[in-house]
């Protein structure tokens, strides 16, 4: 079981935390909603995350049934622009940082 790392440190440690995020394992989470269509989420996952059509369809189905899904894992620096691109398309997405 992985523990979610919280960032509640003081200002003097914030710079260190930001630098260490790049080396940590992160997940790009896409959340279900009642607004976006399956087609839009599938297209977004293919264009933003580089998923195949089949992979994007499977992710969309899991998002729909479970409420959220980690569609991609990697470093914060790689996932942050993808998260921003997804949210710019009106789809709810977040990044979860896990301690290794």
Q: Each residue of 39-92: pLDDT tens digit? A: 999 999 999 999 999 999 999 999 999 999 999 999 999 999 999 999 999 999
Distance CA(62)–CA(44), nearest Å, equals 15
Sheet strand arrangement including 93-98? 68-74, 25-31, 93-98
User: For residue 50, how many other CB atoms are within 10 A of its CB?
Assistant: 11
Q: Is the pLDDT of residue 100 over 70?
A: no
Here the contacts of 51-59 (C-beta below 8 Å, separation 24 or greater) are 59/30
Give residue-wise pLDDT tens across range 90-99: 999 999 998 7
């Amino acid at each position: 079981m992985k523990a979610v790392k919280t960032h509640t440190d003081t200002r003097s440690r914030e710079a260190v935390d930001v630098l260490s995020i790049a080396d940590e394992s992160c997940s790009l989470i896409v959340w279900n909603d009642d607004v976006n269509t399956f087609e839009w989420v599938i297209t977004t996952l293919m264009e933003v995350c580089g998923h195949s059509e089949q992979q994007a369809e499977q992710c969309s189905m899991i998002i729909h049934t479970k409420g959220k899904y980690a569609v991609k894992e990697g470093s914060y620096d790689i996932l942050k622009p993808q998260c921003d691109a997804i949210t710019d398309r009106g789809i709810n997405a977040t990044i979860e940082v896990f301690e290794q």
